Amino acid sequence: MSIIAPDIAAPDAPVERSSLLTRLHEWVVTVDHKRLGIMYVVAGLGFFLVAGIEASVMRWQLAAAGKTVVSPEVFNRLFTMHGTTMVFLAGIPIVFGFANYLVPLMIGARDLAFPRLNAFGFWAFLFGGVLLYFSFLGGDGLYGAGSAPDVGWFAYAPLTARAFSPGNSTDYWNLSILVMGFGTVATSINLIATTLSMRCRGMTLGRMPLYVWMMLVVAGMTVIGLPPLSAAQIMLLLDRFLGAHFFDTQAGGSAVMWQHFFWFFGHPEVYILMVPGFAMVSEMIPVFSRKVIFGYPMVVAASLAIGFLAMTVWAHHMFAVGMGAPLNSAFAASTMLIAIPTGIKIFNWVATMYGGRIRFATPMLFSCAFLFQFLCAGLTGIILSVVPFNWQLTDSYFVVAHFHFVLVGGLIFTIFGAIYYWFPKATGRLLSERLGRWHFWLFVVGFNLTFVPMHWAGMLGMPRRIYTYPADRGWDFWNLIATLGVPFQIAAVLIFMVNVVISLRRGERAGNDPWDAWTLEWATASPPPAYNFETVPIVASRRPLWDLKHPDDPDGPHE
């Protein structure tokens, strides 16, 4: 029995060209997990570009003291929209888009457990995204004040109360995130159900690819972490429209309670975005090192530990709020503890590379940069967990540097790597390696130019979210360097877009398995047929394709 489909050169065969409208209709009504996955990722990348433009304008404004590129009103909208967009409209849809595409293929299933719920999740997200951006036009509201939201992506109470945020801009933020939240929870439930009940024969939990394991953890964290945010947003709606007083401090409401609700979502959220990055490199590093992942059970255990601990660290965003010494100590402890499973993962990836034959294709370049940058992010995370040190650094540019090392240096780098890695599966064509290397090096240089100096700016006392700063503070130099990194990043992203456009038409044909990989998605055609697998595969180990390629030395006995 072979689980490898013949290399069908489908794109070369004469295909009946349907009209544009018909094809558009097919995409809009689809419930195919692969098409929804692609739509998630493409829409997410679109929002990523928009949020990147917003960030570039902010960097221009901050390049020197006292610049007047944008007004304070516009600057506050820019950082609010940048943060909200990157987290909810770029980060979440891209990682869930990948999961949509890959999880059924990796576990040998023909679709997600609830295909229509899946379509609902996508359209809820897209509607929320469009609603959020409609605020630029519609945010004036009945009171004629405000436009896009300007209260920060964390929307701290009581700044969001009617008294301080008239007009409807805050309501756009609130309602669009609420809608997206329902979609994301639906997709997470779908992923959990699929992973638990739709695995092919032989695919025990202990044989699932690490990607699937980690996305299971991510889906679990989402189901627990997102509803509290939705609940808080409904309370905020009641405050703003029906005169409730949950967060209205003038009437005895609690500003700190919003922070607890928000970060009870917001910190798992960091891991909801980061663990998919871990998941992707856990697939790429072994394939490009030509070695099995080192310590599979330990990596799974570490992922579960991260999932549990991630629910216990939220108040480390609130060390300056005045929670008192015992609570501050407790959250310092949980925050430091979560560094241990995270460290274990880094060690296991490096151990996988150790003794390998590392092939530096573009996905591996991004994975290696991820290792260094995420190491920095983890270590600045340790620094921030030391509460007294945190009192100096929280809400300063050091924190901006830290979480951009996490979310760009960690997540965006792995997403780029993952796009180079799985693009051939989704489209049947490889991305250009030459353009890929340009993309990689420009992005590494630009990213580090922008975000390394921010550590210094923060330690020199520069707070976050300021639209300008006095000239005598000694922050100009570091801000100028940070801004100079922006053109490099823009160039890198433009090259990436060119690469995608060119490779879609003229890229080298990929075949089923261009990277000589080991998981089930490489056993079917590229792109896979709507039903994924002609015959549902049967697996006997963690690396079914390794077993096929090395019948003399299958994985099974080693596990």
Partner 1 sequence: MRLAEALGAPSTPSIFAPASTPAFAIRDLSFLVLAIVTGIFIVVAGVTVYAILRYRRRPGDDGRDPPQVYGSMQIELAWTVVPFLIVIVLFLTTTRYIFAIERQPETPDAVEVTVVGNQWWWEIRYPRLGIVTANELHVPVSDAARPTPTFITLQSADVIHSFWIPQLAGKTDLVPGKTNRMWIDPRTPGTYVGQCAEFCGLQHAGMLLTVTVHPKDEFDRWVAAQRAAAADDPAVRAGRDVFASVACISCHTVRGTPGNGVFGPDLTHLMSRATLGAGVAANTPENLRAWVDDPARLKPGARMPAMKLSREQLDGLVAYLVTLR
Query: What does the block give as tokens for 444?
Result: 């590494």
Q: Is 434 in the site for partner 1 (CB under 8 A)?
A: no
Query: What does the block give as tokens for 215?
Result: 């996305």
- Among the listed ranges 20-28, 285-293, 403-411, 441-449, the one in contact with partner 1 (CB under 8 A) is 285-293
Q: Is 346 in the site for partner 1 (CB under 8 A)?
A: yes
Q: Which residues pair with 396 in a beta bridge?
A: 463
Quick one: 62 or 186, whose CB is closer to partner 1?
62
Cα dihedral 326→327→330→334 (10° resolution): -170
DSSP state of 470: -
- Among the listed ranges 224-232, 293-301, 433-441, 495-503, the one in contact with partner 1 (CB under 8 A) is 293-301
Q: Is 556 in the site for partner 1 (CB under 8 A)?
A: no
Question: How many other CB atoms are found less than 10 A from the CB of residue 157?
Answer: 25
Q: Is 162 in the site for partner 1 (CB under 8 A)?
A: no
Q: Is 460 in the site for partner 1 (CB under 8 A)?
A: yes
Indicate the SS3 state at residue 201.
Answer: strand
Quick one: 54 or 150, whose CB is closer to partner 1?
150
Q: Is 253 in the site for partner 1 (CB under 8 A)?
A: yes
Q: Which residues pair with 201 in a beta bridge?
A: 538
Among 297, 506, 551, 552, binds partner 1 (CB under 8 A): 297
Quick one: 11 or 72, whose CB is closer to partner 1?
72
Distance CA 33, CA 45 (A): 18
CA-based torsion, 169, 171, 172, 174: positive or negative: positive
Q: Is 18 in the site for partner 1 (CB under 8 A)?
A: no
Among 351, 435, 445, 502, binds partner 1 (CB under 8 A): 351
Among 11, 25, 116, 329, binds partner 1 (CB under 8 A): 329
Question: How many other CB atoms are found less than 10 A from the CB of residue 161?
Answer: 21
User: Is 236:247 a contact under the CB 8 Å cutoff?
Assistant: yes
Q: Between the CA of residue 122 and those of 80, 172, 469, what are the distances in Å? A: 23, 19, 41
User: Is 340:260 a contact under the CB 8 Å cutoff?
Assistant: no
Shortest distance (Å) from residue 381 CB to partner 1: 10
Among 67, 175, 224, 249, binds partner 1 (CB under 8 A): 249
Query: Which region, left, alpha or beta, applies to residue 295 given φ > 0 means left and ψ of -120 to 50 means alpha?
Result: left
Quick one: 463 or 511, whose CB is closer to partner 1?
463
Q: Is 322 in the site for partner 1 (CB under 8 A)?
A: yes
- Among the listed ranges 325-333, 414-422, 439-447, 488-496, the one in contact with partner 1 (CB under 8 A) is 325-333
Q: What is the CA radius of gyration of the chain?
A: 23
Quick one: 11 or 355, whose CB is closer to partner 1?
355
Indicate the SS3 state at residue 538.
Answer: strand
- Among the listed ranges 128-136, 245-253, 275-283, 435-443, the one in contact with partner 1 (CB under 8 A) is 245-253
- Report 90-149 residues binding partner 1 (CB under 8 A): none
Query: What does the block give as tokens for 179?
Result: 């809608």
Indicate the SS3 state at residue 70.
Answer: coil
- Report 177-236 residues binding partner 1 (CB under 8 A): none
Distance CA 199, CA 207 (A): 10
Q: Is 8 in the site for partner 1 (CB under 8 A)?
A: no
Among 224, 256, 445, 502, binds partner 1 (CB under 8 A): 256
- Report 65-94 residues binding partner 1 (CB under 8 A): 71-73, 76
Shortest distance (Å) from residue 507 CB to partner 1: 23
Q: Is 320 in the site for partner 1 (CB under 8 A)?
A: yes
Query: What does the block give as tokens for 324?
Result: 């008192």
Residue 445 burial (C-beta neighbours within 10 Å; 0-12, 13-18, 19+): middle
Q: Is 372 in the site for partner 1 (CB under 8 A)?
A: yes
Query: Which region, left, alpha or beta, applies to residue 428 given φ > 0 means left and ψ of -120 to 50 means alpha?
Result: left
Shortest distance (Å) from residue 122 CB to partner 1: 32
Among 45, 212, 332, 401, binds partner 1 (CB under 8 A): 332
Shortest distance (Å) from residue 441 CB to partner 1: 15
Query: What does the block give as tokens for 338?
Result: 């979560």
- Report 382-411 residues binding partner 1 (CB under 8 A): 382-383, 385-396
Q: Is 270 in the site for partner 1 (CB under 8 A)?
A: no
Phi, psi of 413 (to 5 degrees): -60, -45
Quick one: 434 or 558, whose CB is closer to partner 1?
558
Q: Is 511 in the site for partner 1 (CB under 8 A)?
A: no
Helix (H) or strand (E) holding 109: none
